[in-house]
Amino acid sequence: MKNKNDSTAVPDTGHVWDDNLRELTNQPPRWWMVTLYLSGLFILGYFILYPAIPLATGYTKGVLDWTQMKRFNESVKQIEAVRAPFENKLKGMSALAILDDQELSTYTVRSVKVLFGDRCAPCHGVGGAGNPGYPILADDDWLYGGSIDAIQDSITDGREGMMPAFGPILSEQELNDLTQHVIALSQGTEHAVGKTLFEDQGCSGCHGEDGKGEQMVGGANLTDGIWRFSPGTEDSIKYTIVHGVNEPDAAESRQAIMPGFEKQLSEAEIKKLAVYVHKLGGGQ
């Protein structure tokens, strides 16, 4: 049988050590050489076709004139081409009409989600789930109303609910009674003395006689157990009553300012956001 490792048949370089240790000149296998030359050709082709070699000021551009930016712009164009028929349709429609159109409203929700994430989620939380001090948009508890028009108005013009600071005009006892009434309202009952004060002090003007809120002025619903100014404990309720909300002169006042987006976003974007918010689950 032929010894596959018989080295005497292989030519050597002439170097011999220790009597019989020869340096052989084995050629690499053919497939290996072919692959090597092919890769060389591939690199050459690549250098000719694509941007490759850095120069002092710039780089070789390649005959295809390919750039990452061009490729990116092409994909953007492709996406825009898919969106165009929808976007054109949306332009002439009211938010309400979009909402009524199953296909368009589904498109709207998907395409505007990123914008909501960029512009609204920092305050209202991902998917409108709310953050401490900022209203939840995904429930059916609305300060200004959950109709599509009210939502669109909120986004276009912004909102800034005002509640005066009652600290200076209430006695300690009155403050306690009012606080107890607010707590009672959230539990579905009422506090007799507090209830009278609630009307006498004008709380009912903004929060409604029954405490369910007045959407005209953004007066919160106090009966639902949902607290904007968390944690909604006796102390935090007292704080709101004493310092008010958005009181211009009081530094300790609660802040609740929704910026208007009329100048920052296009009308179409606002319309789409209104549909998105409405469809988060709480639209009326």
Please identify, using beta-carbon distances, which residue of 104 and 143 lies nearer to ligand HEC: 143
| Interacting positions 244-263 with ligand HEC (CB under 6 A) | 245, 256-259, 261
Please identify, using beta-carbon distances, which residue of 105 and 240 lies nearer to ligand HEC: 240
Interface with ligand HEC (CB under 6 A), residue from 90, 241, 275, 280? 241
Buried b (16+ CB within 10 A) or exposed e, 167-195: beebeeebbbbbbbbbbbbbeeebbeebb
Please identify, using beta-carbon distances, which residue of 62 and 265 lies nearer to ligand HEC: 265
Residue type, 146: G
* Helix (H), strand (E) at residue 13: strand 12-17
3-state secondary structure of 12: strand
User: HSE on the CB side for 183, CA within 13 Å?
Assistant: 14
Q: Taking each helix axis from N to C terminus, what angle separates 68-91 and 102-119, rounded to the nearest 10 degrees?
A: 130
Please identify, using beta-carbon distances, which residue of 14 and 248 lies nearer to ligand HEC: 248
107 near ligand HEC, judged by CB under 6 A: no
CA end-to-end span of the chain: 91
Give the residue among 199, 256, 270 at the shortest CA–CA distance from 228: 256
C-alpha–C-alpha distance, residues 24 and 276, integer Å: 76
Convert residues 167-186 into a mask of x (bound to ligand HEC by CB under 6 A) and - (unbound): -----------x---x----
Task: Report in angstroms how near the CB of residue 99 gets to ligand HEC at its nearest.
Answer: 14
What are the beta bridge partners of residue 254?
245
Task: Report in angstroms how near the CB of residue 249 gets to ligand HEC at its nearest.
Answer: 15
- The label of the residue with tokens 């019989």 reads 20
What is the size of the binding site for ligand HEC (CB under 6 A)? 47
281 near ligand HEC, judged by CB under 6 A: no
Convert residues 118-157 into a mask of x (bound to ligand HEC by CB under 6 A) and - (unbound): -xx-xxx---------xx-x----xxx------x--xx--
C-alpha–C-alpha distance, residues 230 and 134, integer Å: 10
Contact 111, 268 (CB under 8 A): no
201 near ligand HEC, judged by CB under 6 A: yes
Interface residue list for ligand HEC (CB under 6 A): 119-120, 122-124, 134-135, 137, 142-144, 151, 154-155, 159-163, 166, 178, 182, 201-203, 205-207, 217-220, 222, 227-229, 237, 240-241, 245, 256-259, 261, 273, 277
